[in-house]
Structure 1
Amino acid sequence: MSLDYERERETFEWAIPDEYNIPAVVEDHADSFGDRLAVRFRDEEGGEAERTYADVRDDANRFANALADLGVGAGDRVMHLFPRHPDAFAVQVGALARGALLVPCSAMLKPKDLAFRANDCEAETVVVHEDLTEMVEPILDETPLSRVVVLDAGGDEFADPNWHSFEQLVAGRDADHEGPDLGADDPMSINYTSGTTGQPKPVLHRHRWLRCFELINAPYWWGVTQDSDFSDELLWATTGTGWAKWFWSPVGVALTTGAPQFVYEGEFDAETFLDLMDEEGVTRLCAVPTQYRMFTQVDRLADYDLELTEAVSAGEPLNREPIQEFEDAFGVTPRDGYGQTETVALVTNYPGIDVKPGSMGKPVPGIDVTLLDTQDEEAVEPGETGEIAVPVESPAIFDGYYEKPQLDEKTFHGDYYRTGDLARKDEDGYFFFEGRADDIIISSGYRIGPFEVEDALVGHEAVAEAAAVASPHDERGNVVKAYVVLADGYDGNDDLTDELQDYMKEQTAPYKYPRRIEYVDELPTTSSGKIRRIELREEEREKFGE
C-alpha cells in the first residue's frame, strides 16, 4: 500500500455514522466473516489460544448478559486490570455493549493509583486477572468498587458473593445480547493520563474515537483498511491492555478493520520476540523505539527469516541507527508516528513516504495539525520550534475530561487544543519532535511526569529537594535522572542510591524510578523559586553527547 499524500489530503472526509459503536462493528464482522481469525495468543509457558470474530462476538455478548444480571448498565464505569489475554476483547466489547465506560489500568500501577482512579470516576466494577487480585483487595474498603470479576479464576468459588469468576459468568450464557442503543457520540472510555503536572486526568473518549482510528491510524500508519486482503496478514502491536496505545492499535486498527492479530502475554525479550515473529508469520509490527533499539543489538539479526512487510513505531522519537539497521536486516523501514492519549495519530510516516530519520512524518489527512507559537495562536515558520496543536472542533481529539468542567475550560479555551509537545517543521513539511513544553519524560514509550517522581523522592528522610529530568540513554531513549539535595546528616554514596531506588520502586510504578541519581548542593531555580529543569536537561545532553 502506497499513498498519494496530496490526493489523500484533498479527498479525505470524516465519515462517522451516527450509529457507530464497536460492539456493532464486531457484530458486523462476525456476520460477514465469522470464521476469520481475530486473535492468535501465546503465553510464556507455551500455552496457545485462538479466537475467531464469531468467538469474540459471542463471548462479548455472554459477558454483557452476565454484567446485566450483575446490574451493570449504561454510563457505569468498568475498570479492568489484566495482562495481554485472548479474552481481553470479549471483556472490553462486552462491557461496552452494556453502554458502560471502560477504565483501563496498567499492572505497573500501585494500589493507591487504582484507588485514585476508582474514586475519581466512581467505578463500581473491576475486571482483574487472577494474578493481580492482590492489587485490588486492599482498596475495596476505600473505593466504590463493589463487584470484582476475576479473569482466569477457572472454577474457583469465592466466599464473597461480590467476587465472580469470568469463566463461570459466561458459561452457558446466551450468545445474543440486547443492550442499550449506542451511537458515535456515546461515551466509551476514560483513559487516565500519566499525571504530568499533578494527579492523572480522566480523558473521556466516545465511540467515534475508534472510528477515527479506523479512518486515520489504519490507512495512514499501519497501511490497512477494511477492504484489505487479510488472508496472509497477521498484525502484532506489542502494547499492554492498560495503555491508550491498546486502543490505538489492537482495538482501533485490528478490531475495527477485521484484521487478524497476534497477542503475546510475556514480557519483552528481543530474541524471544524475533522468534515469535518468525514462527507466527507476523507481517505488520507495531513496537516502541526501545524495542527496535534492542532488536538491532541481537547478533546475526538478518538470519531471522521474517515475513514483515511493514513496521511502525510510536511513543517517542525513533533515532536513525535502529531504523537503518532494521532496514538492512529485513528490507523494511520502521515508520514513526505521533499522537497522544487524547488524540488519534496526528503525524505519521505514512505508507509510501520517503522516511527522514528522526522525523515523525507529516500531518495526517483530515486533521489541520499546526505548530503554534507558545505565547499566542500564530503559526511558526519552517525551521522554528512550536507547540503541536489541533483545532478544538476536530473529531481527532478527545471530548474533554470526565466530569471535570474546570479542566475543560482550561484546555479548550481557544481555537486549538494544545498538546504540550514541541516540534519543528522543515521546508518539506516533515515534523521533528523537540521535547515537552511541560517537562514530561518519555522513557521506553512511557510518559513520566517529573512532579510525581520528585514528590515521591522528597518523602524519603534523606532527601530535602529533588528535580527529575530526562537523561539520554542508548536503549530506552531516555531514563529518569534525579538531581537530589540531601537532608542534613546524609552523604551521597552508592548505598544511598540503591536505597533511594528501592524506595522509589515501592512508591511509584517501576518504570518511573530514577535510574540515575546525582547529589548536588542546590537546584537551579527561577526568581520565583521554580526549578529550571531545562538547565538540568541541557546538562544531561552534554554529558551523553546529545
Structure 2
Amino acid sequence: MGVNYNTIVEEFEWDIPESYTVTSAVGDHAASFGDRVAVHFLNEDGYREELTYNDLHEEMNRFANGLEELGVEKGDRIMHLLPRHPDTFGIQLGALATGSLLVPCSSMLRAKDIEFRANDCNATTIVVHDSLTDMVEPILENTPLERVIVLEGDEGGLDDEQWSTFQSVSDGQSAEYDGPALTSEDPMSINYTSGTTGQPKPVLHKHRWQYCFNQINGPYWWGIDEETDLEEELLWATTGTGWAKWFWSPVGVGLTTGATQLIYDGDFEPETFLEILEDEGVTKLCAVPTQYRMFANADLDSYDVQLNDTLSAGEPLNREPIERIQDAWGVTPRDGYGQTETVALVTNYPGIDVKIGSMGKPTPGVGATIIEVDNEKEVEPGEIGEIAVPVDSPAIFDGYYEKPELDEQKLSGEYYRTGDLASQDEDGYFFFEGRADDIIISSGYRIGPFEVEDALISHDAVAEAAAVDSPHDERGSVVKTYVILAEGYEGSDDLKVELQEFMKEETAPYKYPRRIEFVDELPKTSSGKIRRVELREQEQEKHS
C-alpha cells in the first residue's frame, strides 16, 4: 500500500530525548524483553553463539567496570580493531558506558593508518583481536596509547603491563555499572573518512546520531516501525565493525530498535551467503551492490528464502540484479544514500514506488536537497547539483574532532555539502550523477584517489600517477591508475603485477588499482592540477 510522501514529510517532527544514549537503549531493552536474542552469531567454521539483550547489558557493564578500573575516564578515546565477533557489541557498549568515544578501525588498514588515527585523536586505549595485534605492536612507541586489550588473547603470553586481555578486564566485574550520567548530546564516536586529498578526517558524532538512525534508518530504510513484530524478524547487515555502516545498521538500527540480528564472520562467497539466508531464516538483508550483482549470477530460484526486505547502499545498484531478485524472491532491492557524516539522506523507503536507478526521495526530517555547486541556491528538476543538508539538521555529524579549520570549511554556511552530485526528477526522486570531489566508490568502499596516487608514487618505478574510477560489471567501479614511469623503466604486464602487489602492502587491499595503464603524460589544468574528469570520461567510453 502506498503512502502520502508529502504528508509524512510535513508531519514529521524531531523529539530527541535528552537522556537518550545507545547504552540506555540497550538497558531499556534488557528491562523490557531481556530474554530476546540480540545477536545470532555464526562463523565459517560452524561455530554458533547467541546473546540475549540481558547478556549484552551485563557484558557491557562488566567491561565498563573493568575499563574504569584500568583508569579509563569519560572523554577518553578508545580505538577498536575487531573482526565480526560475538563480543564486539559488549566491547563497544562497555566503552560507551564509561563516556569514552569509540574510534573504529578496519582490519583492512595498515599499521601506519592505526598510528595516524591514534595520534590524531590522542587515543589512550585500543581493543584489538589477537589475530590483528601485529598491526598494533610496531606503532605503540610512537603513539599516546597507554593500554592494549586483546580479544581472545592468552594472558600467559602477555609480559607487559601495557597489555591485558578482554577476558581479564571483564572477569569478576559486577554486572551492574554506576557510570557517568550521559545525554544525547554527549560525544559518542570518531569515524575517520577519506576524501580526495589530505589525511583521513575525524568525523565526530554524538549519541543523538544513533537515535536519528532509529527514527530515520529504521522506518524509512529497514522498514521497521512501531507496527513491526520484531520477534518475527532476523536482520543481517553484511558490513564490518570498522566502517561507519556498522553504526548505520547493526548498532543504529539493530540494537536501538531491539531487533535480533545475524552476525556472520566469514569471507563473502555468493553460494555461502545464499545458504545462510535460507538456513537461518533472514528476513531483512542489507548488502552492497557488488554482493547483489554476484547473487544475481547464481541460481536464486533454488534457494527458499524468507526475505521481506533487501537493502542496498554504497553506490547505485543497476537494473539487472534488481529485476533478477524481484523475479526470484518477490522483493525489490531498495537503494539508500547517506555518508559517514549523516543518517540515510535519501531512500526508496517502504510505501513509495521504487524507481530503478534512483536513490529514492529525501527522508523526512533531514532536509536533504540539491544545490548549485558554486552557491547555495537549489537547482531546478533535471539540473545537476550537489546533495546538501542544512547545517542545523540533527541528522548530520557534529563537526570534526578538534579540527576547527575543517568545521569552518564544511559547516559555516547554510548547508553541509556532501560532495556528491545528483539530479532530481519531477516526482522528487534523486539520481546519482557523480562525485564532486573525485571520490572512487568500488564495491561500496569510498576511496580517495590521493591515497592511491600517494602510495603508488612511492614505488621507484612511478614518476607520476592519477587514479580514477573505471566501470566494472560486478564491482560497479574499480580503481584505475594512469602511470607515468620513472626514467629507466618500461611498461609491461610484469610491472603491472609488481605495482599491484606493492600497493596491496602499502594500502588497504581494496584500494589497489585493478587496472593500470602506462602513459607519457597526464591531462592537467593550467595550474598543474590533474584533470581526472578527462580520464574518467575515457574510462566511461572504453567500458560503455
Instruction: Calculate the TM-score normalised by the size of structure 1.
Output: 0.98
Q: Deviations over 1:227-247 (max 9, x none)?
A: 521121100000000000000
Say whether the 8 Å CA contact 1:236–1:285 is kept in structure 2: yes
Partner of 2:90: 90
Partner of 2:216: 216
Say whether the 8 Å CA contact 1:277–1:306 is kept in structure 2: yes
* Structural mapping, 1:361-380, within 5 Å: 361-380=360-379
Q: Deviations over 1:309-356 (max 9, x none)?
A: 000010111111111111111101000000000000000000122111
Q: Secondary structure at the match of 2:230?
A: coil
* Structural mapping, 1:117-132, within 5 Å: 117-132=117-132
**Distance in 2 between residues matched to 1:104 and 1:243, nearest whole Å:** 7
Question: Alpha-carbon deviation of 1:172?
Answer: 2.2
1:471 aligned partner, one-letter code: S
**Distance in 2 between residues matched to 1:248 and 1:208, nearest whole Å:** 13
Q: Secondary structure at the match of 2:136?
A: helix
Question: Alpha-carbon deviation of 1:420?
Answer: 0.3
2:214 aligned partner, one-letter code: E
Q: Which segments of 5 or more consecutive residues in structure 2 lack a partner in the other structure? A: none
Say whether the 8 Å CA contact 2:155–2:164 is kept in structure 1: no
Q: Which segments of 5 or more consecutive residues in structure 1 lack a partner in the other structure? A: none
Q: Secondary structure at the match of 1:68?
A: helix
Say whether the 8 Å CA contact 1:154–1:167 is kept in structure 2: no
2:484 aligned partner, one-letter code: V
Partner of 2:426: 427
Say whether the 8 Å CA contact 2:72–2:98 is kept in structure 1: yes
Instruction: Calculate the TM-score normalised by the size of structure 2.
Output: 0.99
Q: In structure 2, do the counterparts of structure 1 residues 368 and 195 end up closer, same or farther at CA, with 3 Å as the change threshold?
A: closer
Partner of 1:61: 61
Partner of 1:463: 462
Partner of 2:270: 270
**Distance in 1 between residues matched to 2:93 and 2:16, nearest whole Å:** 19
**Distance in 2 between residues matched to 1:434 and 1:426, nearest whole Å:** 13
**Distance in 1 between residues matched to 2:195 and 2:96, nearest whole Å:** 26
Say whether the 8 Å CA contact 1:3–1:350 is kept in structure 2: no
**Distance in 2 between residues matched to 1:321 and 1:26, nearest whole Å:** 40
Q: Deviations over 1:232-289 (max 9, x none)?
A: 1100000000000000000000100000000001011111000001110000000000
**Distance in 2 between residues matched to 1:118 and 1:227, nearest whole Å:** 43
Question: Alpha-carbon deviation of 1:21?
Answer: 0.5
Partner of 1:206: 206
2:93 aligned partner, one-letter code: V
Partner of 1:504: 503
Percent sequence identity is: 67
**Distance in 1 between residues matched to 2:114 and 2:215, nearest whole Å:** 33
Question: Alpha-carbon deviation of 1:225?
Answer: 2.8
Say whether the 8 Å CA contact 1:423–1:434 is kept in structure 2: yes
Q: Deviations over 1:38-88 (max 9, x none)?
A: 000001111010100000000000000000000101000000000111111
Q: Deviations over 1:371-407 (max 9, x none)?
A: 1110111111111100000000000110000000111
Q: In structure 2, do the counterparts of structure 1 residues 87 and 225 end up closer, same or farther at CA, with 3 Å as the change threshold?
A: farther
1:541 aligned partner, one-letter code: Q
**Distance in 2 between residues matched to 1:158 and 1:323, nearest whole Å:** 51
* Structural mapping, 1:72-471, within 5 Å: 72-153=72-153, 156-225=156-225, 228-298=228-298, 300-471=299-470
**Distance in 2 between residues matched to 1:58 and 1:156, nearest whole Å:** 26
Say whether the 8 Å CA contact 2:195–2:437 is kept in structure 1: no
Q: Which moved more, 1:209-218 or 1:162-171?
A: 162-171
Q: Secondary structure at the match of 1:231?
A: helix
Q: Which moved more, 1:189-198 or 1:370-379?
A: 189-198
**Aligned pairs, how many?**
544
Q: Secondary structure at the match of 1:356?
A: coil
2:376 aligned partner, one-letter code: E
Say whether the 8 Å CA contact 2:308–2:331 is kept in structure 1: yes
1:61 aligned partner, one-letter code: N
Q: Secondary structure at the match of 1:89?
A: helix
1:320 aligned partner, one-letter code: R
**Distance in 1 between residues matched to 2:17 and 2:448, nearest whole Å:** 37
Q: In structure 2, do the counterparts of structure 1 residues 154 and 489 end up closer, same or farther at CA, with 3 Å as the change threshold?
A: closer
Q: Secondary structure at the match of 2:438?
A: coil
